[in-house]
Amino acid sequence: MSDLDRPRQPTSGPHVHNCSTEDCGRWGGFGFASAARVETRWWCWEHYPHKAPTIVGR
C-alpha cells in the first residue's frame, strides 16, 4: 500500500495559539501546563511567566 492509495487527510492549517494575557492578542508561541490533564496556557514572549532571568555579560 502506498500513500497514493490512501484518502487525503483534511488540513485545517497551522494551529495558532494567542497569548493568554487579557487584551494582548499576540501569537502565543510559549506554552506551559503543570500536568498532562491540565489545559496548556499559551503566552507571547513578553508575558511568558516561566522564562529564566537574563544574565548580562555572557
pLDDT tens figures, 9-25: 666 667 788 999 999 98
Find the mean pLDDT for residues 22-31. Answer: 90
Contacts of 22 (CB under 8 A, 6+ apart): none
pLDDT of residue 1: 54
pTM: 0.59
Q: At CA 40, angle to CA 37 and CA 41, rounded to 5?
A: 145
